[in-house]
Structures are given as C-alpha cells and as structure tokens.
C-alpha cells in the first residue's frame, strides 16, 4: 500500500513523536569511518557528552521519502513567484519529499516541528557551531567533516544582530551527502536578497531565516544552489520549513555566477539520474540532521547558550 497521504504527512511533523523514533541503520562506509574520527576528535571538549552515534528519525518522515520522487505539481521552483506563493501559504505543500526539476536540479523539501526548541536557540546554533569542527560534528556525527567561517570575529560579536553576524559571512563546510564528501560554501543572505518578500514572511510568522546560496568548493565562483531554512515559534515548538534547489535551474540565473552551473554539473556527472539520486541523498541528510538537532539543541543551549 502506498503511504496514507495527509495523515502520514501530519504525523511525522513532530521530530520526537507520532510513533516511536526509528534508528538510522544505513551508513555508507565513508560515514562509518568519519564517525570514528569525529568521536576521537571530540574527546575532552566540554560538550563531548552530547556526541552520540545513535541517531533516530520519525518512521513517518522516513517512509515519506521511500515512494519515489514527489508529484511534480506539489514541488516549487526557486522563482520569485513561487517563493511568494510559499510565503503566503507555507502549509500548502507536502511536508517532505524530493524530486528532479529542470536544469537538471535536485529538489528537496521538508517541514518539521521541534518540541522544546525555539527560534532563539536555532539562531544561537548558527553562531556557535561554526567556530569549531567538533561542534559541527555534534549535528551529524557520521557525515559532518568541518566548518569554518570567513569572519569568526563577526560571527562571535554579540553587539551585532544575528543577521549582521551571519549574513555575508561565508560558511566553508565539508560534509557527506550520500557517500560523497562535498566542500560547500554557504553564502547566508537576507531573504529579501534571495527574492523573498519580508512582509509576507512576517505575516506567516517566519521571522528567522538561515537561508542562502551555495557554491561547491571546486568551483567557488559558480552559484550552484539555493537553500531556504525558514523558522517560526509555535506552541508545539519551533517549526522549520526547508527547501533546496541544487543544480542549474533557469530560475537560479538571477544569482551572480549561476550561469556556470550547468557546465559544473556536467563535470560532476550530475546528469538527470545523478541529480535525482542527489535529491534523495540530500533529503535523507536533511531528515537525519534536523531530527538530531531537535534532540540535542535544548540541552546544548542551556549549557552553552548564555555563555558563548
Ligand atoms: Zn549537514
């Protein structure tokens, strides 16, 4: 039987509930090796007890990624019109899924509620974790390799707003997507610079954004993706909406450097089949790391959030 549609979608929203969390059991060999290296590196750090190899996800979220690509008419393009449609009705989409769009473009979407988590904690996380690789490894111990920022002093400067600390402060990330380690430069930006309407986001209560364009480390001049993480506080916990478009979608051409994306993708062997596999691998990565962050963030914030 295919999944039961809206019921299943609704249930998997809570990162911790609905049904008993199911352990993540499949890790490609390079991720198994990375876990061992990360476990050794974090020894002696004050937050080492938050490091665990036991990751879990909601079975409903997991199942929602097992029926093949989502229906094309339930996806979004990165066009300004589609971004506006999303901001006016964020709930009007399936909660999670992946697909192949024009370009080719790997498309991923997810929506999760994190009990006990607030947008304040989420903003703090993005100013705290990039300072040390070991902090980044807490988030996904098998898949996260390293992260550093262009201006660590600015990221740590509490006299500035969150947006002043993060936006325009490139994160140089290395992480495994599927079994492949990728160097990724995340250019976090104000949502209005990504084509979103601030007033519409305000009306939806989506006041926290850790969104930006992405470039691969092997071609740092080529804009290769748009990533949205838009969050709001709800009575049940922080609700996070995520979208990724990785590839050469025509609507990404409004970003400088995107014209080189098609040639880069061809060089990376990301044809239609490759982009679709990347979409699935990224959807699993997103599910795994945001399910896990939901579990560790309240404790990390209470231990370190006021200090750092
Ligand atoms: Zn990650």
pLDDT confidence of residue 304: 96
- Which pLDDT value is given to residue 2? 38
Q: State pTM to two decimals.
A: 0.95
Ligand 1 centroid from CA 109, angstroms: 15
- 283 CA → ligand 1 middle, Å: 11
Say what the pLDDT of residue 167 is.
98
Residues 142, 221, 226, 205, CA torsion sign: positive
**Token code pair at residue 93:** 């989409």
Q: Tell me, what's the pLDDT at 307?
A: 62
Those residues with Cβ within 8 angstroms of residue 272's Cβ, 6 or more apart along the chain or in another chain: 100, 104
Q: d(Cα 304, Cα 290) in Å, to the nearest integer?
A: 20
Quote the CA–CA distance of 77 and 81 in Å, as a whole number. Answer: 9
Residue 1 alpha carbon to ligand 1 centre in Å: 32
Q: Do 215 and 223 touch, CB atoms closer than 8 A? A: yes
CA distance 227 to 126: 15
Positions in the chain whose pLDDT score sits under 50: 1-9
Q: 127: part of which helix (H) or strand (E)?
A: helix 119-128
pLDDT at 16: 65
- Please write the tens of the pLDDT for every residue from 59-71: 999 999 999 999 9
Distance 184 CA to ligand 1 centre (A): 10
């Amino acid at each position: 039987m295919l999944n039961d549609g809206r019921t299943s979608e609704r249930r998997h929203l809570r990162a911790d509930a609905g049904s008993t969390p199911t352990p993540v059991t499949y890790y490609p060999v390079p991720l198994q090796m990375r876990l061992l290296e990360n476990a050794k590196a974090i020894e002696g750090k004050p937050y080492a007890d938050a490091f665990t190899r036991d990751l879990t996800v909601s079975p409903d979220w997991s199942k929602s990624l097992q029926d093949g690509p989502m229906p094309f008419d339930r996806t979004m393009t990165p066009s300004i019109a589609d971004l506006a449609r999303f901001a006016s009705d964020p709930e009007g989409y399936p909660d999670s899924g992946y697909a192949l769009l024009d370009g080719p473009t790997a498309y991923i979407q997810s929506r999760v509620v994190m009990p006990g988590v607030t947008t304040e904690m989420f903003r703090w996380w993005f100013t705290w974790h990039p300072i040390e690789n070991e902090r980044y490894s807490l988030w996904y111990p098998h898949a996260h390799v390293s992260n550093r920022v262009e201006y660590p002093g600015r990221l740590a400067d509490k006299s500035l707003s969150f947006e002043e600390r993060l936006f325009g402060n490139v994160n140089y990330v290395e992480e495994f997507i599927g079994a492949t380690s990728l160097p990724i430069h995340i250019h976090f930006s104000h949502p209005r610079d990504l084509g979103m309407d601030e007033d519409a986001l305000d009306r939806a209560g989506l006041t926290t954004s850790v969104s930006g364009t992405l470039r691969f480390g092997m071609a740092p001049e080529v804009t290769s993706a748009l990533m949205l993480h838009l969050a709001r506080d709800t009575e049940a916990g922080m609700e996070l909406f995520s979208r990724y478009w990785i590839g050469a979608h025509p609507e990404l051409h409004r970003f400088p450097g995107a014209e080189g994306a098609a040639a880069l993708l061809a060089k990376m062997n990301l044809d239609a089949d490759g982009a679709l596999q990347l979409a699935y691998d990224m959807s699993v990565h997103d599910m795994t790391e945001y399910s896990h962050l939901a579990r560790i963030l309240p404790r990390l914030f209470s231990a370190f959030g006021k200090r750092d």
